[in-house]
Structure 1
Amino acid sequence: MVSKYLIGAGALLSPLVSATSSAKRGLIFIPNSTTLQDNSIWVQTGSDLTWYYNYGNLPSSDYTHIPQSKFEFVPMMWGVGPNPSQDTAFHDSVVNLINTGTPISHVLSFNEPDAPSAWGGSDVTPANAALAWIANFVPLQKLGVKLGIPAVTGAPTGFDWTEQFLANCTSILQTQCPYDFIPLHWYDNLGGLQSHINQYATAFPGKKIWVTEYADPNQDLATTQQFFNQSASYMDGLASLERYSYFGAFRSNVSNVGPNATFLNNAGRLTDIGSLYLGFGLTGVVPTSNN
């Protein structure tokens, strides 16, 4: 399969007519109960997408018929409850999936724990996160499941939170806190994304990085397309970056990252960005259009 990158107005990269498909690309699945027909778009024949997550611990019913080898579900423990050291519900659900025929190989944890709930974060202290990590994730690694540490925000406080979390975990275990990869979020321009990835790659050498949410929000269409083109090319070529998932798998009229950053227009048709992310060609569909 051949995938292409979008060349927006004023793009700095040389035009990329085609490139090999990217197994790194995943789906952030955010279903809308009023547009359920959109759910099949992401798994149509020829799609580049190889994995997905839905901010939850169970696979989405739309995709349970697809083998993990073709479209891998990655469970997430979104936040932490009032008994972080005793609540093992996430661990138990993953073990149950494995035992009932869904071979889980990767898991994600705590969504933006350094951010308050009003901003969409799980608002978890590093100390409580460490307790929940030890109760739910460390035993999964012993089963061969690869662990992604909490995905903090792109703010400087996120890096501080990560260091405190790992220090708490190491202190409790009296040995190095176990994990396999580092999920990151980024909502700004390409230079910032590159700097953000480099910061974590330098601080935690040898660990693979996933960018599990990213976009350059609330920009005009040309700027948005240029960011998509350059960021996809950059991440596809970065050996230390194992996977990425763009935040935009929804219609323009329900977007919280601006109307131009989405994979679908108001009528549910693939925009240029959406089509290229799936590995298809340009559609010419304007995100804000209604047909």
Structure 2
Amino acid sequence: MPSIATLTLIAATTAPYALAQLSSSKRGLCYVSSSDASTDDKIWDTGDSDLTWYYNYQATPTSGYAGSDLQFVPMMWGAPTSDQDMTFYNTVKGLIDGGAKIPYVLSFNEPDGCSSGGSCVDAETAANTWMREIEPLKKMGVKLGAPAVTGAPAGFTWLQSFFTACAGQCSADFIPVHWYGNFEGFASHVGQVNGTYSNMTMWVTEYAYADAKLDDSQDFYNQSASFMDRIDYITHYSYFGAFRSDTSNVGADAAMLTQKGKLTDIGAWYLGQKATGNVPKGGAAQAAKFAGWAVVVVAAAFWTMA
């Protein structure tokens, strides 16, 4: 018999929805550098932007956002080659010592993935690196983000192996989530993550409906944003689409900018603005890059019924 949590998720995924609310303090920028950065970077950091934080897959801030009101969140993308390396720790400590406010850090981008942006780090190496370079930041008042695994079932297996290797010495405060499928699968995946790691809050640091048509991409955006804004344990989220449609690897219609650098409807909604009517064109998506999420929709559905 389905649990109360399962029934709640089913209701959330099937209930009618309206446009997502324009304003949300949870929204941040998943920054992706591009050849158009000199003009596009300004779009995300303006007086009428709803964004409050950003990360760029690096330990140091983006130069174009020096003095910005956007809160920078450093990331340790992968593991260094030396088991004596302290670069990430020293970089973050240097930022703090220099007067920067660093309340959070992120770690290990898709370590269970060895292609298409994955850092390809084994769980034991990640655990040892965490204990050496990330855990000590806790003493400086920094809250620590667990590794951000893919949405595929292998991600859950990797994360379990990571915490086993940590043997209680990796005290993550929040758990990041990545997702590139439809909304029903997304809601189910979020429920699975929360059910497994209910002692942590959640950040959704990459999400989009990869390679979907425009109407479906917009529906997904509105459903997912409304969903995340209603859930207390999701404290931060960042849509994967802050690039032009002709360079998007999740499909042109998921992008927040057109090929000419104008805000699409999704981009405008995400910034807390009204729809623009600008239609994106010319995507460079490759569906094979996101093969993992298709399996998760079925796997997570079975899990929630357990």
TM-score surpassing 0.5? yes
Identity %: 49
CA drift of 1:233 comes to: 0.3
Which residue of structure 2 aligns with residue 288 of structure 1?
Answer: 281
C-alpha contact (below 8 Å) 2:22/2:271 kept by paired residues: no
**C-alpha separation in 1, matches of 2:36 and 2:42:** 14
Which residue of structure 2 aligns with residue 108 of structure 1?
Answer: 106
Q: Write the deviation string for residues 190-231 of structure 1: whole angstroms up to 9, x where unpaired.
A: 111111111111111131000100000101111111000100
Query: By percentage of residues, which structure has more helix?
Result: 2
Which residue of structure 1 aligns with residue 231 of structure 2?
Answer: 238
Which residue of structure 2 aligns with residue 199 of structure 1?
Answer: 192
C-alpha contact (below 8 Å) 1:27/1:49 kept by paired residues: yes
Which residue of structure 2 aligns with residue 220 of structure 1?
Answer: 213
**C-alpha separation in 2, matches of 1:114 and 1:35:** 30
**C-alpha separation in 2, matches of 1:82 and 1:193:** 34
Distance 1:176 1:79, change over 3 A: closer
C-alpha contact (below 8 Å) 2:264/2:279 kept by paired residues: yes
CA drift of 1:19 comes to: 3.3
**C-alpha separation in 1, matches of 2:202 and 2:55:** 16
CA drift of 1:91 comes to: 0.4
Which residue of structure 1 aligns with residue 136 of structure 2?
Answer: 139
Q: Write the deviation string for residues 207-266 of structure 1: whole angstroms up to 9, x where unpaired.
A: 100010000010111111100010000001111101000000000000000010011001
Which residue of structure 1 aligns with residue 90 of structure 2?
Answer: 92
The residue matched to 2:241 in structure 1 has which SS? coil
Q: Please, which of 24, 27, 37 is the counterpart of residue 25 of structure 1?
A: 27
Distance 1:35 1:56, change over 3 A: closer
1:255 correspondence with 2:254: no
Q: Write the deviation string for residues 173-206 of structure 1: whole angstroms up to 9, x where unpaired.
A: xx45311000010110111111111111111113
Letter in 1 for 2:80: G
C-alpha contact (below 8 Å) 2:206/2:239 kept by paired residues: yes
The residue matched to 1:127 in structure 2 has which SS? helix
Give unpaired runs (5+ residues) of structure 1: 1-10
Q: Please, which of 161, 168, 178 is the counterpart of residue 171 of structure 2?
A: 178
The residue matched to 2:146 in structure 1 has which SS? coil
TM-score of the aligned structures, taking structure 1 as reference length:
0.89
1:15 correspondence with 2:18: yes
The residue matched to 2:203 in structure 1 has which SS? strand
**C-alpha separation in 2, matches of 1:121 and 1:244:** 19
**C-alpha separation in 2, matches of 1:87 and 1:211:** 29
CA drift of 1:46 comes to: 1.6
**C-alpha separation in 2, matches of 1:14 and 1:126:** 39
**C-alpha separation in 1, matches of 2:197 and 2:34:** 37
CA drift of 1:34 comes to: 3.8
1:77 correspondence with 2:70: no
Alignment size in residue pairs = 269
C-alpha contact (below 8 Å) 1:26/1:49 kept by paired residues: yes
1:165 correspondence with 2:162: yes
Letter in 2 for 1:78: W
- RMSD (Å), alpha carbons: 1.5
C-alpha contact (below 8 Å) 1:13/1:230 kept by paired residues: no
CA drift of 1:12 comes to: 6.7
Task: Decide which moves more: 137-146 or 199-208.
Answer: 199-208
Q: Write the deviation string for residues 46-67 of structure 1: whole angstroms up to 9, x where unpaired.
A: 211000000000000111112x
**C-alpha separation in 2, matches of 1:138 and 1:39:** 32
Which residue of structure 2 aligns with residue 8 of structure 1?
Answer: none
Q: Write the deviation string for residues 58-106 of structure 1: whole angstroms up to 9, x where unpaired.
A: 000111112xxx310000000012223x111000000000000111110
Letter in 1 for 2:74: P
